[in-house]
């Protein structure tokens, strides 16, 4: 029961931040490790449990999901392809391989909070954007935490209003995550009660984040995500390398 409550609270925090910007599943991942899950199980359970926040955030915004899908169908498609490849790679290799990769992945995901998001200048912006979105999809399927920040950084290569970019991020993260989650369902590594707690919590948080996306300082949630992410990265490096 305690694990369910802890995961649900983590889900609310994650959902709220993901609805506003993204990257917060970096927070729930170490929570699942602290609850005793194997790193691979934590990755898969975390992915399934936190995906709902993106869709709920869109529903509480002024944008319609179907309109976003039509507008960003190319970026969604290449991200879905990447996420399916990433999920296949995750399940194809032995768990001990992932154990030694995950500290680097988590640290890298945490550092994505430092990615610049100012629009670039030049004719290659759309190409750079597409490459970034495809790479984020591959990363989504293999690990996941921090993907939202990667997508925001890619979308910022072309001029968009903040609320438009946030809604686009939620759909570009949400659909590829759902695709890789379908693959995960057959892995046998999902901790369903914890996934349910995360799902319920992140759904609540996603609604809050969708409403608060323009009211909370980005520096606040970036600082929170980076603090937790770096702390968890240090823990994993000590656990598997020292």
Its domain, for residue 135, covers: 2-241
Q: How many domains does the chain divide into?
A: 1
Cα-based distances in Å from 108 to 64, 117, 136: 32, 17, 12
Compute the residue count for the chain: 242
Residue-level pLDDT at 192: 95
Burial of 71 (0-12, 13-18, 19+ CB in 10 A): middle
Residue 146 backbone zone (phi > 0: left; psi -120 to 50: alpha; other: beta): left
How far apart are the two ends of the chain, measured CA to CA in Å?
33
What is the pLDDT, as a whole number, of residue 227?
Answer: 79
Q: Report angle CA 90, 92, 95 to the nearest 5 degrees.
A: 65
User: Tell me, what's the pLDDT at 212?
Assistant: 62
Q: What sign results for the dihedral spanned by CA atoms 29, 194, 9, 133?
A: positive
Residue labelled with tokens 């290569």: 157
Question: In the prediction, which pLDDT does 191 show?
Answer: 96
pLDDT in tens, the chain (242 residues): 789 999 999 999 888 877 666 667 888 888 999 999 999 999 999 999 988 877 877 776 678 889 999 999 999 999 999 999 999 999 998 888 888 888 888 888 778 767 665 555 555 567 888 988 999 999 999 998 878 878 887 887 777 777 788 788 889 999 999 999 999 999 999 999 999 999 999 888 877 766 665 566 667 766 766 777 788 788 788 877 87
């Amino acid at each position: 029961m305690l694990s369910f409550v802890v995961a649900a609270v983590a889900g609310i925090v994650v959902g709220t931040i993901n609805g506003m910007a993204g990257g917060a599943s970096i927070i729930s991942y170490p929570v699942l490790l602290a609850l005793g899950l194997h790193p691979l199980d934590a990755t898969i359970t975390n992915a399934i449990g936190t995906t709902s926040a993106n869709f709920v955030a869109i529903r509480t915004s002024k944008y319609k999901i179907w309109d976003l899908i039509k507008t960003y169908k190319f970026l969604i498609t290449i991200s879905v392809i990447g996420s399916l490849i990433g999920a296949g790679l995750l399940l194809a290799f032995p768990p001990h391989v992932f154990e030694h990769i995950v500290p680097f992945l988590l640290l890298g995901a945490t550092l994505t909070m430092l990615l610049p998001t100012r629009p670039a200048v030049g004719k290659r912006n759309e190409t750079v954007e597409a490459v970034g979105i495809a790479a984020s999809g591959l990363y989504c399927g293999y690990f996941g935490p921090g993907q939202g920040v990667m997508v925001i950084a890619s979308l910022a290569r072309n001029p968009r209003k903040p609320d438009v970019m946030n809604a686009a991020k939620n759909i570009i993260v949400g659909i590829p995550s759902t695709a890789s989650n379908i693959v995960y369902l057959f892995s046998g590594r999902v901790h369903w009660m914890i996934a349910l707690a995360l799902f319920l919590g992140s759904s609540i948080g996603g609604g809050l984040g969708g409403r608060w996306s323009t009211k909370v300082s980005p520096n606040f949630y970036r600082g929170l995500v980076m603090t937790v992410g770096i702390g968890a990265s240090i823990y994993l490096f000590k656990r598997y390398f020292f």
